[in-house]
Amino acid sequence: MRALVAALVLALLGVAPAAASPDRWVGTWSGAVTTVPASDSTAFQDQTIRQVVRTSVGGDSVRVRLSNEFGTSPLVVGETHVALRDSGARAVPSTDRLVTFGGRKAVTIPPGAPALSDPIPLRLKARVDLLVSVHLPNHTPGTTTSAFAYQQNYIAAGNVTGSADITPTSTTERWYFLSGVSVRSAAPAVVAFGDSITAGTSLNANNRWSDYLARRAPHLGVLNKGIAGNRLLHDPNPPAGSPAEGYAALFGESGLRRLDRDVLVQPGARHVIVLLGVNDIGHPGTPTAPASEKVTAADIIAGHSQLIARARERGLKVYGGTITPFRDDTFGFYSPENEATRQEVNRWIRTGGAFDAVIDFDRALRDPAAPDRLLAAFDSGDHLHPNDKGNEAMAEAIPLRLFR
């Protein structure tokens, strides 16, 4: 009754009532894009890239975000389709949908920019495989990529974006020019913001710790923004002449630099789990970064403090993940000094009160008999990265009450 009276009063005053809340969109999948090394000559011409992504939360409509954010020339996309995956590169024909951008099937994306599609009428369930097929008609260098997809994707000749069956001419374990899929839903999203320990899984298995979290919480959009080799404080900077010049660009911009793009603007993001710092400790002095970039625990703590402040300014809850053990790692990270830095940062994460909550990944993965080592059952073999079983243990360490 009060609402009716208020509406009548507004009408008499000539004031239109406030519009209903706009449709809400939430990320259901994401990839963290980077540039590529100068030596990477990958390019496409009159080819379709059919890319496989695993959704987290479901919704009744879909949007696709393409990215030319590391391109140096306009990205011309001739046509894009989405469909549910049957198996391999085959789509379920009845689910095929044309993707449009401002009502057009073709889109040209300026250098440094993304492009968000129009809403696509396709109902998605949680935890299903979606195919995103992108036709690139012109010579197109593969400048914007998620290099650590751990997912087999398919490349075919010509424009076969709308075909259920395609004949791949090659495969790739990267995602190209694709950075996000969102669905219309009132669900919140959590961003997993980290390095290779966040990105990693067995090939095609979708067993990242974020995937295990999505299985535990199907009501939640879970967005993986892990990049192998990523550091909180520094961009890639391989020493001149180092073999890392051929791959370090794929480590991505520093966590502080990419925070806005990879976390703060993600649709529906309400929470972020941060697991960064091990590469800041381990890289300097190895072939991947100069010794002059060595950091202290105080440096890492200051970086986290900035990240927390910026995320909270946008209304996100920020959860700190403790840095996991790496004794005897095969990358040259470990030293008593580096272990002391890890312990000091973890002590601050646990007791400093800066984060909204602490997720103790260190405790979940360490060997109780030797706390500076990964438990053997969780070790991928390099003594730094957890295997899929370790990823599951990490997800189990995350209290679901944080997202209610």
Domain boundaries, the chain: 25-180, 188-403
pTM: 0.93
Q: What does each C-alpha distance from 13 to 2, 321, 344 come to in angstroms?
A: 17, 54, 63
**pLDDT computed for residue 404 by the predictor:** 84
Cα–Cα separations (whole angstroms), residue 292 to 284, 285, 289, 295 = 7, 8, 8, 9
Residue 4: what pLDDT? 38
Q: What is the pLDDT of residue 8?
A: 38
State residue 143's pLDDT score. Answer: 98
Q: Which residues of the chain have pLDDT under 50?
A: 1-21
Tokens linked to 201: 């899984």
pLDDT (tens digit per residue) in 86-98: 999 999 999 999 9
Distance from C-alpha of 239 to C-alpha of 8, rounded to nearest angstrom: 71
pLDDT in the model for residue 18: 32
| Residue 11 confidence (pLDDT) | 36
Q: Tokens at residue 239, please?
A: 């020493």
User: Each residue of 355-404: pLDDT tens digit?
Assistant: 999 999 999 999 999 999 999 999 999 999 999 999 999 999 999 999 98
pLDDT of 22 reads 52
Q: Which helix (H) or strand (E) holds 97?
A: strand 97-99
Q: How far is CA 274 from CA 117, 153, 173, 198, 345, in A?
A: 29, 28, 25, 9, 13
Q: What is the pLDDT of residue 384?
A: 98
Instruction: List the structure tokens of 256.
Output: 């502080």
CATH superfamily of 188-403: SGNH hydrolase (3.40.50.1110)
Q: What is the pLDDT of residue 170?
A: 98
Specify the pLDDT at position 331: 97
Amino acid identity at 308? I
Which residues on neighbouring strands pair with residue 190, listed in sequence order?
Answer: 222, 271
